[in-house]
Amino acid sequence: MSTDNTRRGVSHTPNNSVSHTPNVFIHESSYVDDNVTIGEGTKIWHFCHIQSGAMIGKNCSFGQNVNVGNNVKIGDGVKVQNNVSIYEGVELENDVFCGPSCVFTNVTIPRSKYPVHGVYKKTLVKEGASLGANCTIVCGCTIGRFAMIAAGAVVTKDVPDHALMAGVPARQIGWVCECGKKLDADMKCECGRMLLS
């Protein structure tokens, strides 16, 4: 293992075939498996594991202790805070934010004795959506564009674009702008944007 903790575009896994540009940062404590694509400007910090077949876009950031599962697709500009596992079956579009310790799932009815090998329910998080700290996304749900999921919420159903969701189970408590601020009764934001229905 290298002692250079700023090595770029290199994995510690021997004989791998990581496919990405040189302008990628992978901390030496992280592992990147075979056949992974990582876009320019992406940073992978301490103790991460990127599994085989993952496709990660440009300018993303993965905090400490992040796992990206097999064949997971992640767009550009995605930020993943510490302690998040993005399991097979999950897709994150551009500019998604995953708060610290948020939880994805990929099996609705898990049983250790009756495993469902390779049959995973999908979760799609659309462009610009934010997932608050410690929220849980039950698999099979789609989170709409620019939606905001409150800290600690448990999402059990599809979430509309721009919806603000909170609680267990998560209920809609408002609408948010692309910038993240709450919309007023006329669906206007203080930033000047307006949400047209």
Ligand X SMILES: CC(C)(COP(=O)(O)OP(=O)(O)OC[C@H]1O[C@@H](n2cnc3c(N)ncnc32)[C@H](O)[C@@H]1OP(=O)(O)O)[C@@H](O)C(=O)NCCC(=O)NCCS
Q: Which residues bind ligand X (CB under 6 A)?
A: 99, 132-133, 148, 150-152, 166-167, 173, 182
- Of Zn ion, ligand X, none, which one does residue 152 interact with (CB within 5 to 8 Å by kind)? ligand X
CA 182 to chain centre: 22
- Total chain residues near Zn ion (CB under 5 A): 6
Query: By the 8 A CB rule, do 26 and 10 touch?
Result: yes
Residue 118, burial from CB neighbour count under 10 angstroms (0-12, 13-18, 19+): exposed
Nearer to ligand X, 38 or 148 (CB): 148
Question: Which partner in ligand X, Zn ion, none is near 110 (CB below 5 to 8 A by kind)?
Answer: none
Region near Zn ion per CB under 5 A, out of 81-89, 96-104, 131-139, 185-193: 185-193
For the bound state, the minimum distance from the C-beta of residue 94 to ligand X, rounded and expressed in Å, comes to 18
Within a 10 A sphere around the Cβ of 169, how many other Cβ atoms? 12
Residue 196 CA from chain centroid, whole number: 27
Q: Which C-beta is closer to ligand X: that of 38 or that of 164? A: 164
If the CB atoms of residues 103 and 195 are measured against Zn ion, the closer one turns out to be 195
First-residue to last-residue Cα distance in the chain:
54
- Closest to Zn ion by CB, 168 or 179: 179
Among Zn ion, ligand X, none, partner that 177 touches (CB below 5 to 8 angstroms by kind): Zn ion
Q: Is 191 in the site for Zn ion (CB under 5 A)?
A: yes
Q: Is 179 in the site for Zn ion (CB under 5 A)?
A: yes
- What's the closest the beta carbon of residue 130 comes to Zn ion, in angstroms? 13
Under 8 Å CB-to-CB from 54, ≥6 apart: which residues?
A: 33, 36, 37, 68, 69, 70, 71, 72, 73, 74
* Shortest distance (Å) from residue 126 CB to Zn ion: 18
Q: Is 189 in the site for Zn ion (CB under 5 A)?
A: yes
Beta-carbon count within 10 A of 152 CB: 16
Beta-carbon contacts of residue 143 (< 8 Å; ≥ 6 apart): 123, 124, 125, 126, 129, 131, 137, 149, 155, 158, 159
CB-nearer residue toward Zn ion: 171 or 181 = 181
Instruction: Tell me which residues touch Zn ion (CB under 5 A).
Output: 177, 179, 181, 189, 191, 193
